[in-house]
């Protein structure tokens, strides 16, 4: 018991806990490494192109997305999600996700009044596509390469556009199925048809797994060892004096 108490004091003093992080990234954007899903609402729109460009990135190769939004007084939107084929993580196998961070370098290529695109991370789980809707929304309006990032994202920061159910979120828990990671470009609501395009480079997603509490682990282990030790007794001799 003394050993357990001492260990508790030491670990509590240093605040020892162990957590892990896993990251996915791309700065080349080979077309074969990416798949695209486009969703629309209302009057909708069209994905015109999504491809690698070998020069002009930050630096060199990057990816460009061009969208067309249909004009309508009633409004509408077009949302294009690009998923990195090797950027997958299974919480039920690899551990629950606490939060994720998102980073990219971006710039407008062709804009129009109102800016360029709303941007950010996209996830796909069990066939359902989710995009970040944490406010204020991340957007791109600059024509020079600009670093953009979101940190500490949780399941509640992601929404499903296709289902129209904003209470539906991805499952980051240890019972969640495999998640695919990528990014999106989105625009909505224009009385006239507009075309916009933007570039992306140095895409990265960092997953922060739930910490493993060393204090709980060590004390639990020592407790079971002590219990086994205390329950052991010297066998009674078969002979009496």
> Does residue 142 fall inside a structural domain?
yes
Same domain? 36 vs 101 = yes
Query: Can you tell me which residue has the tokens 């294009």?
Result: 80
Same domain membership, residue 138 and residue 103: yes
List of residues 6+ apart from 105 with CB closer than 8 A: 58, 145, 146, 147, 148, 200, 201, 202
Could you list the residue range(s) of the whole structural domain that residue 190 is in? 20-211
pLDDT at 158: 97
Contact 100, 120 (CB under 8 A): no
Both 51 and 170 in one domain: the answer is yes
Q: What is the pLDDT along the chain (241 residues), one digit of tens a residue?
A: 444 334 333 434 444 444 689 999 999 999 999 999 999 999 999 999 999 999 999 999 999 999 999 999 888 999 999 999 999 999 999 999 999 999 999 999 999 887 899 999 999 999 999 999 999 999 999 999 999 999 999 999 999 988 777 789 999 999 999 999 999 999 998 999 999 999 999 999 999 998 765 434 444 444 454 554 444 444 443 333 3
Compute the distance between CA of residue 174 and CA of residue 176 in angstroms, rounded to an integer: 6
Residue 68 resides in a domain: yes
pLDDT of residue 21: 92
* CATH number, residue 207: 2.60.120
Q: Are residues 174 and 164 in the same domain?
A: yes
Say if residue 223 is in the same domain as residue 189.
Answer: no
pLDDT of residue 186: 97
pLDDT at res. 212? 61
Q: Where would I find the H helices in 53-208? A: 91-94
Same domain, 155 and 191: yes
Residue 207 belongs to a domain: yes
pLDDT of residue 19: 62
And the tokens for 198?
């933007």
Cβ neighbourhood burial of 240 (10 Å; 0-12, 13-18, 19+) = exposed
| Residues 11 and 58 reside in one and the same domain | no
Q: Is 67 inside a domain boundary? A: yes
């Amino acid at each position: 018991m003394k050993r357990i108490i001492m260990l508790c004091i030491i670990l509590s003093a240093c605040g020892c806990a162990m957590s892990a992080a896993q990251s996915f990234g791309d700065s080349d954007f080979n077309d074969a490494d990416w798949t695209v899903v486009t969703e629309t609402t209302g009057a909708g729109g069209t994905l015109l192109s999504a491809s690698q460009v070998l020069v002009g990135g930050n630096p060199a190769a990057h990816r460009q997305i061009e969208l067309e939004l249909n004009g309508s007084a009633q409004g509408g939107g077009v949302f294009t999600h690009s998923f990195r084929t090797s950027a997958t993580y299974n919480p039920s196998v690899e551990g629950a996700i606490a939060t994720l961070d998102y980073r990219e370098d971006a710039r407008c290529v062709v804009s129009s009044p109102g800016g360029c695109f709303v941007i950010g991370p996209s996830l796909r789980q069990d066939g359902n596509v989710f995009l970040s809707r944490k406010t204020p929304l991340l957007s791109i309006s600059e024509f020079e390469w600009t670093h953009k990032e979101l940190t500490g994202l949780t399941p509640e920061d992601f929404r499903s556009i296709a289902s129209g159910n904003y209470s539906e979120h991805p499952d980051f828990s240890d019972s969640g199925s495999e998640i695919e990671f990528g990014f999106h470009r989105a625009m909505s609501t224009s009385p006239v048809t507009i075309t916009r395009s933007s570039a992306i480079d140095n895409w990265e997603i960092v997953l922060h797994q739930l910490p493993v509490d060393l204090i709980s682990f060590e004390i639990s282990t020592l407790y079971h060892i002590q219990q086994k030790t205390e329950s052991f007794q010297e066998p009674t001799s078969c002979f009496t004096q």
